[in-house]
Amino acid sequence: MLIRAIALSLALVFGATVIVPVATESVEAGKKKKKRYAKKKYKKYSKQWWRQYRAQQRRKKAMQARRRALRLRQMRLARVRRAQKPQPRVAAATKPVTPEKSSVAMLPSGQTAPAGWQPGSQTNSEVLFSVDGGRGTAAISVVGPANGETVDTGRNRAVGGVPTTSLRREVINRMIRENGWVVNDYQKEVGNKKVYVVVAQSQGAGGRLNSRMFYFTEVDGRIYSLATNTNVDSADRIAEESEKVLNSLQPRGGVQRAATRED
């Protein structure tokens, strides 16, 4: 009995000394890293180094060529897809037909402007014309409502109740802004109607002297202004045409008035 127990103990001890190392070795040997071979280093500019360098350059150029070929292929495929994609139908846009502007200049009275006066821009309170072959301008506007009679005698001269001193001051302020100056002012009769005139001058392009004429008259309870800006050489002719325009503004039974109105 004792001998059997001793033999069993020896067997257990022997088995433990053999099995444990074998098991440990098998567990540790489960994952084995692959051995990476280190790149060989050659002496710079040696024969082997040049061989390795040229091989690297060939591989790099081959990789770049493959990338370019892939990119070119992608661009071609994208172009083919766009060509095959059905385009939406767009209705042909009809070009709006704009009525041609009349080449005949019309005055606020509804009459035809003098020859050489071409139509320009127009607002609710001003009608602009191009005169003297495009070298000058003329503007007809409403200064304001009349609030009295036109007086041309004594110190209290007025146009439609507005003192001429106020109208002259407006012209002076405008000339200051436009680098000009007032020369004279007077009142005259045009078409049996008293008209206040302010004569001014300003410096034009290239040092040219421009004639500036400002006419103020009262028509149908409103004070109208006609301002011209022309070359001095054409001042007399434009003045005659301006008086015709002022005469056309006078009420003539049933003639439709202009679209200019006081703001």
Query: Which pLDDT value is given to residue 169?
Result: 93
Examine residue 211 and state whether it is found in any structural domain, yes or no. Answer: yes
pTM above the 0.75 mark? Answer: no
> 209-219 and 194-203: which strand pairing?
antiparallel
Examine residue 29 and state whether it is found in any structural domain, yes or no. Answer: no
Examine residue 234 and state whether it is found in any structural domain, yes or no. Answer: yes
Examine residue 180 and state whether it is found in any structural domain, yes or no. Answer: yes
Q: Would you give per-residue pLDDT tens digits along the chain (263 residues)? A: 677 777 777 777 776 675 656 556 555 555 555 566 566 788 888 999 999 999 999 999 999 999 999 998 899 888 888 888 776 665 555 555 444 555 677 777 777 888 878 887 777 678 888 888 888 888 888 888 888 788 877 777 888 888 989 999 999 999 999 889 999 999 988 878 889 999 999 987 777 889 999 999 988 888 889 999 998 888 899 889 888 888 888 776 544 444 455 44
The pLDDT tens digits for 222-253 are 888 999 999 888 889 988 988 888 888 877 65
197 beta partners: 186, 215
Query: Which pLDDT value is given to residue 145?
Result: 85
Examine residue 64 and state whether it is found in any structural domain, yes or no. Answer: no
Distance CA 117, CA 102 (A): 13
CATH number at residue 240: 3.40.1000.10
Examine residue 107 and state whether it is found in any structural domain, yes or no. Answer: no
Distance CA 141, CA 127 (A): 6
Query: Which pLDDT value is given to residue 258?
Result: 45
Distance CA 250, CA 110 (A): 11
Q: Under a CB-based contact definition with an 8 Å cutoff, are residues 248 and 231 in contact?
A: no
Report residue 109 as tokens: 């009275």
Examine residue 152 and state whether it is found in any structural domain, yes or no. Answer: yes
Q: Under a CB-based contact definition with an 8 Å cutoff, are residues 163 and 156 in contact?
A: yes
- In terms of residue numbers, what domain contains 216? 118-248
> What's the number of domains the chain is made of?
1
Examine residue 74 and state whether it is found in any structural domain, yes or no. Answer: no
